[in-house]
Amino acid sequence: MFRATLKSLLARKLRLLLSGLAVVLGVMFVSGAFVLTDTLGRSFDAVFADAYEGVDVNVSAKPRLEVGDFEGEAVAAPVPAETVERIRGLAGVADATGIVAADGARLIGSNGKVVTSFGPPQIGANWVGVSDLVQLREGREPQAADEILVNAALAKAGRVAVGDRVGVLTLEPKQEFTIVGVFGYSGGRDSIGGVNEIMFTTPVAQQLMLGQGDAFTNVTVTAADGVTNDRLRDDIAAALGADFEVKTGAELSADAAATLKEGLSFFNRILLGFAAVALLVGTFLIINTFSIIVAQRTRELALMRAVGAGRRQIIGSVILESVAVGLLASVLGLGAGVGIGALLAYLFGNLSGGLDLAGIAVPPAAVIGAFGVGLIITVVAALLPALRASRIPPIAAMQDVATPDRPLTKITVAGAAVTSTGATLLFLGLGGHAGDNALITILGGVLFAFIGVALLTPMISRPVVGLLGGIFSWWMPGKLGRLNSGRNPRRTAITAAALMVGIALVTGVTVILDSAKSSISGLVQEKINAELVIAGAQTGPRPSTFDPAVLEQTAALPEVALVGGAYGDLAQVGDERTWVGANTNVSMLTQIFGARATAGDISRLGPDQMLISSDVAASRGLSVGSTVPVQLARAEAKTYTVSGIYEAAEFLDPITLPATAAQGFTIPQPMMGFIQLTPGAQAADVLPQVETLLADSPEVSVADQGAFVEQQTEPLDGLLRMIQILLMLAIVIAVLGIINTLALSVLERTRELGLLRAVGLGRAQTMGMITVEAVVISVFGALLGIAVGSGLGAAVVEALRDEGITDLVLPWADMGAMVGLGALVGVLAAVIPAVRAARIDVLGAIAHD
């Protein structure tokens, strides 16, 4: 039995390879994800090990405000200069150096634009001399207050050189400096992990990066001979008390790497998500292929039964085949995954400004994932066809091989049941009835919906395929193609369903994002009463900011009625961490955002007062007169009194603090500015004037409402494009499925093709016939996908109604494009089978038995 299985496997290697390819792609993503995160993880380990190489022990003050994993970096409280002196005097300390180093030093390059890093921080630090790590490459150390050094990576990215006069944005607005030197790092590196770094003199660094003189962000300590780092750490910690964090260099580097790896696991999840999509589509493909193989081997299997093979042996033989395919696909997928993981790591390293990659290795998780997923998917997909194979009666060996047209009742009932399960799960998940399991419930709902619709597809396929094919019926080959596509509804259905998955996901995402865009645009027009908006497109983790002086200058323009800047940050308010805002001008609330007071006075705000939204008031039980302690990132804790409550609405912060509080925010600069014009003033006249005022704030620009919405929703377009590209993979796999189905159909219908050719069907007509068959299947799949995707998208939009997504936008143009894509996919998939069909030797086809 084993040998018979192997032989039949080898006889159909091409076909199995084609279906195996789907699994290969899925496995590729799984193992690629693990290889990528492993490689990047080890690379970051090396980066931080380097960064803290010369540090025996590091001392920093505990941050005033703890922040969560995805809420940005905590701002450490400053370490006073006298603490450095104290540490230096401790026993076991050879030397202690006060360091200023913080994110947010942004160089304006020679093109007038801010040099961005796309991820890694842009460090501004004090120059403390060369070390084992830091090497001066060119120029000299900074001596005057307006002298800086930049690292080689930044010099390259900003196209600046020693002697250049450059602008730098820090906690302060733009200031001008002269580059007096360029430095690099040990091993000839331009940057450590893509970080851009600017070195100031110590007093300047303190003022610009910390916002206060005579203090440091941390202190690096060198141990005296014979003192271990651990010992020194404990001694210093004991001497300084609980307000300081004392860690060895090794601990610090491990902590920093761990934080970054946490972020990397996000990549891992995205890639695994796409692997899941690829594998779902691949499962459809494998079920189809094995079903067809079993149908074609009916005689052979019946003969085996007739000569005494048991049911289990038949099942075993099909399963064995699937194991072989699964193994092969896993091996190939793992190989491809290592390749794609390495490629992505390389791209990532390059994008983030030259991360030195650790060597590519294959982590055990990649191997286990590859074989686990590849084997399980293939075997599970082959189970159903295997069971069917075992039910073939021995008598079938003596009969004509005919694909019996089994009734579709059972499969339709099952499909309806699975679809409604999916719909129920979606309802529960999206409706917020699933609690913490919402995401899993939603994903499960989507999966069930896909499988359910796939099961319903044979039933739907008859009328729809008939209707679709009607378009081609005027042409005989077209009519034949249409009839062929309707011949085996199950096969057509599952092939179309494979395409459906990719198209449905693309459609769903497009519906959601387009609806979001439209809603945002509507809200902006409706709720923001300002003709011009100052804002920047955020390119990194740090939001774009501008010089608040611009606001005053703008206010002085005669056409401007009201202008205000908005600040924001996370803060500890009472016992909860929450978003707080501050406006340069409290009247913005009512004048620009249309806030309506429900209690107290919201038209003014004293330095110790706060305004809250009605939601916050209700959920925290606060009312006018309540006092709440607030801890900001850069300020001492302070208690505010609620002086007014406004009705919660879009664009209104849950808590509004006075403008003075903004100096305690992580980023003490305004992120957005709103300009209201006097009646009769033209936005187009004022815009260039404000543009001029913003010359020294290159991160932002001024725009009218339309352009503002464009700018703010641009990231959504980018996201959409990225998702579309990745989902193309699912569509590519579906194309493989169509090729597979058609190739098998051509094979099955060799004699028929011979007959058609004998009665005068030309080669071009033959190819046309096959192409129509493919196009009918693929357009059917595209239509299904559009329908399912619109449904899913609409469900999500409905669920997000409370979040402000109120418009449901169906992207008709995109849908049309997807039908076109479906047709194109069909044409492409038909090429090989059509050529094969056209090349069929007429005599051989009709003479063969």
Partner 1 sequence: MMGLPRRPRGTAWTKRREGEDVTATVGRQAQAAARASEVWKVYGSGEAQVIALRGVSCEFEQGRFTAIMGPSGSGKSTLMHCLAGLDSVTRGTVSIGETTVTGLGDAGLTKLRRDQVGFIFQQFNLLPTLTAKENILLPLSIAGRKPDQAWFDTVIETVGLRDRLGHRPAQLSGGQQQRVACARALVSRPQVIFADEPTGNLDSRAGAEVLKFLRNSVREHGQTIVMVTHDPTAAAYADRVVFLADGEIVSELIQPTAETVLDTMKKLDTQVEVGD
Q: In the bound complex, what is the minimum distance in angstroms from residue 844's beta carbon to partner 1?
A: 10
Q: In the bound complex, what is the minimum distance in angstroms from residue 345's beta carbon to partner 1?
A: 52
Q: In the bound complex, what is the minimum distance in angstroms from residue 732's beta carbon to partner 1?
A: 30
Q: In the bound complex, what is the minimum distance in angstroms from residue 826's beta carbon to partner 1?
A: 19
Q: In the bound complex, what is the minimum distance in angstroms from residue 492's beta carbon to partner 1?
A: 13
Q: In the bound complex, what is the minimum distance in angstroms from residue 838's beta carbon to partner 1?
A: 9
Residue in 505, 564, 568, 512 with CA at minimum distance from that of residue 538:
568
- Tell me whether residue 441 or residue 488 sits nearer to partner 1 (CB atom): 488
- Tell me whether residue 59 or residue 753 sits nearer to partner 1 (CB atom): 753
- Tell me whether residue 486 or residue 568 sits nearer to partner 1 (CB atom): 486
Contact 300, 8 (CB under 8 A): yes
The owner of tokens 């091989």 is 401
For the record, the structure tokens of 80 come out as: 């006073």
Q: What radius of gyration do the chain's Cα atoms show?
A: 33
Question: How far is it, in rounded angstroms, from Cα 748 to Cα 734?
Answer: 21
Q: 175-185 and 147-151 as β-strands: parallel, antiparallel, unpaired? A: parallel
- Tell me whether residue 307 or residue 759 sits nearer to partner 1 (CB atom): 759
Question: How far is it, in rounded angstroms, from Cα 496 to Cα 781?
Answer: 4
Question: How far is it, in rounded angstroms, from Cα 215 to Cα 202?
Answer: 10
Contact 410, 456 (CB under 8 A): no
Q: In the bound complex, what is the minimum distance in angstroms from residue 749's beta carbon to partner 1?
A: 9
Half-sphere exposure of 391 (CA within 13 A, CB side): 8
The owner of tokens 């941390």 is 218
Q: Please give the single-letter amino acid code of residue 2.
A: F
- Tell me whether residue 49 or residue 483 sits nearer to partner 1 (CB atom): 483
Q: In the bound complex, what is the minimum distance in angstroms from residue 403's beta carbon to partner 1?
A: 10
- Tell me whether residue 618 or residue 758 sits nearer to partner 1 (CB atom): 758
Contact 771, 823 (CB under 8 A): no
- Tell me whether residue 483 or residue 827 sits nearer to partner 1 (CB atom): 483
Contact 769, 477 (CB under 8 A): yes
Distance from the first to the final alpha carbon of the chain: 26
- Tell me whether residue 258 or residue 847 sits nearer to partner 1 (CB atom): 847
CB burial readout 759-774, b (16+ within 10 A) else e:
eebeeebbbbbbbbbb
Contact 808, 769 (CB under 8 A): no
3-state secondary structure of 245: strand
The kind and range of the H/E element at 814 are helix 812-838
Q: Please give the single-letter amino acid code of residue 286.
A: I
- Tell me whether residue 86 or residue 479 sits nearer to partner 1 (CB atom): 479
- Tell me whether residue 4 or residue 835 sits nearer to partner 1 (CB atom): 835
- Tell me whether residue 66 or residue 405 sits nearer to partner 1 (CB atom): 405
- Tell me whether residue 374 or residue 477 sits nearer to partner 1 (CB atom): 477
Q: In the bound complex, what is the minimum distance in angstroms from residue 755's beta carbon to partner 1?
A: 6
Q: In the bound complex, what is the minimum distance in angstroms from residue 476's beta carbon to partner 1?
A: 4
Q: In the bound complex, what is the minimum distance in angstroms from residue 779's beta carbon to partner 1?
A: 19
- Tell me whether residue 615 or residue 752 sits nearer to partner 1 (CB atom): 752
Contact 366, 34 (CB under 8 A): yes
For the record, the structure tokens of 752 come out as: 């028929």
Question: How far is it, in rounded angstroms, from Cα 28 to Cα 102?
Answer: 39
Question: How far is it, in rounded angstroms, from Cα 530 to Cα 526?
Answer: 10
Question: How far is it, in rounded angstroms, from Cα 10 to Cα 17?
Answer: 10
- Tell me whether residue 70 or residue 474 sits nearer to partner 1 (CB atom): 474
Question: How far is it, in rounded angstroms, from Cα 13 to Cα 582?
Answer: 68
Name every residue whose Cβ is closer than 8 Å to that of residue 407 and which is 6 or more positions away in sequence.
none
- Tell me whether residue 637 or residue 758 sits nearer to partner 1 (CB atom): 758
Question: How far is it, in rounded angstroms, from Cα 807 to Cα 798?
Answer: 9
Q: In the bound complex, what is the minimum distance in angstroms from residue 842's beta carbon to partner 1?
A: 6
- Tell me whether residue 237 or residue 846 sits nearer to partner 1 (CB atom): 846
Q: In the bound complex, what is the minimum distance in angstroms from residue 402's beta carbon to partner 1?
A: 9
Question: What does the DSSP 8-state code read for residue 662?
Answer: G
- Tell me whether residue 694 or residue 769 sits nearer to partner 1 (CB atom): 769
Provide φ and ψ at 168, rounded to 5°.
Answer: -130, 135
Contact 360, 341 (CB under 8 A): yes
Q: In the bound complex, what is the minimum distance in angstroms from residue 283's beta carbon to partner 1?
A: 29
User: Measured in whole angstroms, how far is the alpha carbon of residue 449 from the centre of its chain?
Assistant: 23
The kind and range of the H/E element at 489 are helix 489-527
Residue in 298, 296, 375, 304 with CA at minimum distance from that of residue 334:
375
Contact 654, 578 (CB under 8 A): yes
- Tell me whether residue 564 or residue 768 sits nearer to partner 1 (CB atom): 768
Q: In the bound complex, what is the minimum distance in angstroms from residue 487's beta carbon to partner 1?
A: 6
Q: At what angle do helices 249-296 and 705-748 cross, to 10 degrees?
A: 40
Name every residue whose Cβ is closer than 8 Å to that of residue 573 and which is 6 or more positions away in sequence.
580, 628, 629, 630, 655
3-state secondary structure of 398: coil
Longest Cα pair distance anywhere in the chain, in angstroms? 104
Name every residue whose Cβ is closer than 8 Å to that of residue 189 and which is 6 or more positions away in sequence.
354, 356
Q: In the bound complex, what is the minimum distance in angstroms from residue 761's beta carbon to partner 1?
A: 5
Neighbours of 437 (CB within 10 A): 12
Residue ranges that bind partner 1, judged by CB under 8 A: 476-477, 479-480, 483-484, 486-487, 751-752, 755-763, 765, 842-843, 846-847
